[in-house]
Amino acid sequence: MAEAALSTVAKSAAFGQVREKVLRRFEIGDQTFHVLTKLSAIAVLLLLGGVILSLVQGSIPALSTFGFSFLTSQAWNPVTENFGAAPAIYGTLVTSLIALMIAVPIGFGIAVFLTELCPYKLRRPIGIAVELLAGIPSIIYGIWGMFIFAPFLQATVQPALIATFAHVPGLNQVFAGPPYGIGILTASLILAIMILPLISSISRDVFNTVPPVLKEAAYGVGCTRWEVMRSIVAPYTGVGLVGGVMLALGRALGETMAVTFVIGNAHKIYPSILGPGTTISATIANEFTEADGKLYTSSLVALGLLLFIITFIVLAVSRLLLMRIEGKGAR
């Protein structure tokens, strides 16, 4: 009996030691994971702070020289070192907004079709075909837009727009000729095609999160598909839809190569969207390698800082919208 008792005590002690080692290993692993994730978050903040600091430091010569007029001037003359960011800011905002106006309803329509109307066997092939558009490099979009899409617009669409709105007050300035082919409208259409897969795929995934019982209950009381989408699906998925649109807007604001090919790269604000223009990213891509003066380089860096600020504002506004939608949903 004594030997059995001693054996039991020894086994208990050994089990306790093993358990203590296992718990210690788990504790060390948890602490290591905590430290690594914390360092990763700090590294991201440091990297972001370094980017902001370098942009601000590089922009100081241009901003101190031109002041607030840098935001309002249309001048861009490297010879006389007179620079202004107004055309680039205007082109960036206008092309992105027009692209959203075109891509958002089409993207939502594609998502509704794939989730509600499309035959089940065709949903996956059509969805894959739409998502393949997102995998095409932007430079391919630019080449296609310059050599195929822009000549098509110049020969057919733009003359029709000019003739249609020639006698409409206000719109006759927005769609004034001559038809260049390249310009703000062409760049906007290219951007719309590029962000369309992002909006449609996110919207489709968000629509699929709606519990089927909600839609079935709505159909059961006699609601039409439109009423179900408007009253059930849209309120339930509002946060995801807004997030997808804002992601698409961020993509449109920062797009470079495709826009550079088809926007015309003119540092001037034209009232017509058929005229040439430029964007912040296109200006930087076109001229950074040729910038040889300190003020010239600083002006391009200042454009980068402006693009960063615009993107930050867009993200902040989208976050506020999401918080308001979530708050309404919670009530």
List pLDDT tens digits, range 27-51: 787 888 888 998 999 999 999 899 8
CB 214 within 8 A of CB 232: yes
Summarised one tens digit per residue, pLDDT across range 175-228 is 987 888 899 999 999 999 999 998 998 888 888 888 888 888 888 888 888 888
Output the CA angle 89-153-264, nearest 5 degrees. Answer: 35
Summarised one tens digit per residue, pLDDT across range 272-288 is 999 999 999 999 988 88
CB 79 within 8 A of CB 293: no
The pLDDT of residue 255 is 87
- If one counts every other C-beta atom within 10 angstroms of the C-beta of residue 79, the result is 5
CB 62 within 8 A of CB 298: yes
Long-range contacts of 318-324 (CB under 8 A, 24+ apart): 318/242, 318/243, 318/245, 318/246, 318/249, 321/242, 321/246, 322/239, 322/242, 322/243
pLDDT-based confidence at 302, cuts 50/70/90?
A: very high
86-112 helix and 184-207 helix, angle to the nearest 10 degrees:
40
- The model carries a pTM of 0.85
The pLDDT of residue 186 is 94
The pLDDT of residue 216 is 84
> Does 2 score more than 70 pLDDT?
no
Residue carrying the six token digits 């594609």: 110
> Does 5 score more than 60 pLDDT?
no
Higher-confidence position of 92 and 229: 92
pLDDT-based confidence at 4, cuts 50/70/90?
A: low
> Does 329 score more than 60 pLDDT?
no
> Does 247 score more than 60 pLDDT?
yes
CATH topology of domain 69-330: MetI-like fold (1.10.3720)
Higher-confidence position of 45 and 319: 45
What backbone torsions phi and psi does residue 77 show, to the nearest 5 degrees? -130, 100
> Does 132 score more than 70 pLDDT?
yes
Lowest mean pLDDT among 157-166, 217-226, 259-268: 217-226
Q: How far is CA 264 from CA 75, 98, 183, in A?
A: 16, 17, 5
